[in-house]
Homo-oligomer: A and B are copies of this chain.
Amino acid sequence: MSTFAPTNPDTGTDPYALKARRLGIDTYQEFVVYLRADSHVCKSEGFESLSRVELHWDDKHLVATLNVVTVDGFDALAPDEAGLSETAWRAFGGRDGDAVRLAHPAPVGSFAHVRAKIFGHAFADEALREIIADIREGHYSTVEMAAFLTACAGNRMNADETVALTRAMVAEGARLHWLQRQVVDKHCVGGVPGNRTTLILVPIVAALGLTIPKTSSRAITSPSGTADTMETLAPVSLDAAAMRKVVEAEGGCIVWGGGVNLSPVDDILIRVERPLDLDGEAQMVASVISKKVAAGSTHALIDIPIGPTAKIRSEIAGHTLAARLIEVGRTLGLEVDVILTDGSHPVGRGIGPALEARDVLAVLRNEAQAPADLRERALLLAGRLLEHAGHAAAGHGAALARTVLDDGRAWRKFGAIAHAQGGLREPAIAHRRHVIVAETAGTVARIDNRRLARIAKLAGAPRAPGAGVDLFAPAGARVSVGQPLYAVHAESPGELAYALDYARSQNNVLEIAPE
């Protein structure tokens, strides 16, 4: 550490003292400190933009990236103030005007391991523990995290390194423990709109007596995450104690993972990884397995949808990923089963929180208009999980699941879980809607998942939970001219207009092949 504590002979005061100031700037994960270029600290320490600086208060500190503020434009910051970005402000936990000091930080020691990896050396277990701990404590800048992720991508992580990375990520967060000998879980690698099988699978297996403490994510770039969809039906922001009560009472839950702090470094890295679109296999494996292990699961079913606009685009890539998931899971005491599914088109009809919830309710309530593909997909997955956990003989899981769904036990269990989480509610779909119709006749040959998702987002999903897309013409459907293809739902006329403007500017969101 290069800190030292001088006294300014001119003034007798600590020349490095500044007043903390919340600026309200969201720099996402990175801690950023804003200093005026004419502040005495900036001048005497030779700090410049993109410098890493150490912010000290009481006996605590954090490392941040510096943005220097020139005096001519930005007059909200005084020369004796240190402006803090939102994450830095939360880590600081103080009040406006509290005294802080700035210093040059020691280099992040664990980054030497990243450099060694770049030069071809495998990570030792201890190296990955140090790196992940430093990332959790905010010692890595986004630039350093990008270098770490790049060094791990391109199949440069062997099985041992992937195991060590996963262990390190588990260690840096909370960990749930259950009295039950067997705890099951389910995860979908993602990329398929409307694929809300979790909300059907959880009550089926819980109704059969299995323990399934399911944590799910909110949307980051999609129109809805499982937690967003569930939230239109029941509260999901439960802490670990509240979640435990639900699971102990009902055998299962569907809550937001952010409330229980499982593998938090995964959430940090994913936001740097996503814009790079690197899909590093080791990161993907560590992400999935660390969440499941931290949740205390013993058996997990991983659904890998394969399709040109899904996350995994080929069967070979799917099988390679599956092998690594099973291998790493087993080493950490998690029995993993993997199923490759069709990810080429949306599942169900709704895209957006409330629209997806409506489909889920229709399936659970055995309504006639329930989307058959969502129902069958959920039964397939529930069946596989029942077989994987030893609750059904091979080939008999889906039939068992179907019985529980058909006789209403799944629906009753869902209601009980929702009640335990704070109360079941009906999803409110936005009434303002516009229907897009077919301009040519033929068969729906291809559906572009990504553009359909974008229309739903422009319409307001997931921020506006009632907004989204309602798909009437699934892949393979025959349509005539003027027949409805999909409806766009929005909560304001402006948002409806934006979404429709975009929809009309795109050809072939649904590709119709002439007969």
Which residues from chain A sit less than 8 Å from chain B, CB to CB?
4-10, 15, 22-28, 34, 37, 40, 43-46, 48-50, 52, 67-76, 85-86, 89, 107, 111, 115, 118-120, 141-144, 146-147, 149-151, 153-155, 271-272, 275-278, 457-458, 460, 463, 492-495, 497-498, 501-502, 505
Given A9-B494, A28-B50, A147-B150, 4 further pairs, Cβ under 8 A? A4-B501, A27-B49, A44-B494, A147-B276
Chain B residue contacts of A48, Cβ below 8 A:
28
Q: A25-B67, A44-B498, A49-B28 are in contact. Are A277 and B115 (CB under 8 A)?
A: yes
A31 and B121 CA atoms in complex are apart in Å by 35
Whether B44 lies near A74 (C-beta < 8 A) is: no
Kindly provide the distance from the CB of A122 to the nearest chain B CB, expressed in whole angstroms: 13
A287 and B270 CA atoms in complex are apart in Å by 32
19 A-B contact pairs sorted by A residue (CB < 8 Å): A4-B501, A7-B497, A9-B494, A15-B498, A23-B73, A25-B70, A26-B68, A67-B85, A74-B76, A76-B76, A111-B276, A111-B277, A120-B155, A142-B142, A142-B143, A143-B275, A143-B276, A146-B147, A147-B147
Chain B residue contacts of A463, Cβ below 8 A:
43, 46
Whether B46 lies near A458 (C-beta < 8 A) is: yes
Whether B495 lies near A44 (C-beta < 8 A) is: yes
A111 and B277 CA atoms in complex are apart in Å by 10
- 5 smallest CB-CB distances across A and B, nearest first, come from A24-B73, A6-B501, A24-B74, A146-B146, A150-B150
Chain B residue contacts of A143, Cβ below 8 A:
142-143, 146, 272, 275-276
Kindly provide the distance from the CB of A376 to the nearest chain B CB, expressed in whole angstroms: 31
Q: What is the chain B residue whose CB lies nearest that of A85? A: B67
A417 and B79 CA atoms in complex are apart in Å by 41
Chain B residue contacts of A501, Cβ below 8 A:
4-7
Q: What is the chain B residue whose CB lies nearest that of A144? A: B276
Q: What is the chain B residue whose CB lies nearest that of A496? A: B9
Q: What is the chain B residue whose CB lies nearest that of A501? A: B6
Chain B residue contacts of A4, Cβ below 8 A:
501-502, 505
A495 and B141 CA atoms in complex are apart in Å by 29
Whether B26 lies near A69 (C-beta < 8 A) is: yes
Whether A153 lies near B9 (C-beta < 8 A) is: no
Chain B residue contacts of A89, Cβ below 8 A:
73
Kindly provide the distance from the CB of A7 to the nearest chain B CB, expressed in whole angstroms: 7
Kindly provide the distance from the CB of A3 to the nearest chain B CB, expressed in whole angstroms: 9
- Contact among B25, B40, B70, B492 for A494, CB-based, below 8 A: B40
Chain B residue contacts of A76, Cβ below 8 A:
74-76
Kindly provide the distance from the CB of A206 to the nearest chain B CB, expressed in whole angstroms: 33
A76 and B34 CA atoms in complex are apart in Å by 14
- Contact among B26, B43, B74, B141 for A37, CB-based, below 8 A: B26
- Contact among B6, B23, B43, B149 for A147, CB-based, below 8 A: B149
